[in-house]
Structure formats: structure tokens, C-alpha cells
Amino acid sequence: MENQEQRLTKKGKETRARIVSAAAKLMFERGVAGTSVEDVRQEAKVSSSQLYHYFKEKRDLVLAVIIFQTESVLSAQEPLLSQLDSMEALQTWRDAIVQLQNDRQCQGGCPIGSLASELSDTDSAARAELASGFAKWEHALRLGLRAMYARGEMKPNADPNALALALLTVLQGGLLLTQVRKETSALEVGLDVIIGHIRSYIV
């Protein structure tokens, strides 16, 4: 997929990006199963020949959407996500996540998580791509906690890797509940508890 992108002209890249963006929007709103290739074609305002030039089948488009959503989710949290090396930074990131869900009116939960719940048991290639996306997210969280640990700001018995995984797990559960409950209290409580637990390791 990457090699194909590299061979595209500027106009070709723009057309492909428009198709992927349209597909991501529809799949976030309707789910993968509820989004047809024809729906995407109409949303992206391209011809069938254009769409099939870039994506031979819907499965290829879904994989591109997963990559697109991973990049979108992580970039939306920058520059905060790459600087989570203090309790103040973690709190600021937490507040930004909650605000983002409020801005969305709690529609859709996590774009990656929504795809994962629909595809993980039925498409091994999609599951692998989703796992890679979550791994990137976890890695970013882990880097900040490891930096705090390396500077001696955390107790020796702290496990930055486990704390990062727990933080991502709580975040995903909280985002799901915002989608179901249409308000952010569960997300706020979950993040406050795990951040409080991390704080307990600060010396």
C-alpha cells in the first residue's frame, strides 16, 4: 500500500486521501458493515473507476481507514501526547481528552476502538493493523512515564510499562462509556483514578 502511494502523482495522492477520509467519516458514523463502497464513492465525489483504481476491494479501503484513524487520533493529541513526562502534563492531556469528547458531543467513542470492536474477530489483517495502532498509542504513553522513572521521580517499584497499558485500557473503556451514556463522567472518573494511581508512585 505504501509503495503504491509513493508512485502516485500529487493529484493522485489527493484523490486517494479524499476517498480514505470519506470512508473514515462514514465508517465512524455507520460502522464498516453499514458503509458500502458506493456510499464512499458518493461521499468522496469520485467515479467508480477512480475508487477501484486505488482500492481493488473494500477490505483494502478498510485497512487504509484504520491507518488514517490511527494517525488522526494520535495527531489530535499532539503536542501533549509526546510530552507526557510529568504529572502536570498527564493532567493537561486528560483534560484535553475529556474536552475532545465534549466537543464531539460523545458521538462515536474512540475511532480506533470502534473499528476494533467490529473487525477484530472477523478480519485478521484488520486486527493486526488495529493492534499496531494501539501499540503506537501505548508506546507514546510509555515514553513519558519511562522518562519520569529514569529521572528518579517515581518509586523504584513503579512499572511504567504496566502503568501505560493500564492508562490506555482505562481510556478505551471510558471512551466507550461516553458513547453509551452520552456524557463524560465515566471517562473523567476512570482517568482520575488511574492518574491518581500513577501519582502514588511519585517520590
- The ranges of the chain annotated as CATH 1.10.10.60 are 2-56
**Beta partners for 154?**
202
Lookup: cell for 177: 462509556
CATH class of 65-199: mainly alpha
Q: What pTM did the predictor assign?
A: 0.87
Mean pLDDT by 10 residues, the chain (203 residues): 65 94 95 96 95 94 96 90 94 95 88 93 95 95 96 97 97 94 96 98 97
Q: Is-contact 80 92, C-beta < 8 A?
A: yes
Q: Where in the chain is the domain with CATH 1.10.357.10?
A: 65-199
For the record, the C-alpha cell of 181 comes out as 451514556
2-56: CATH number: 1.10.10.60
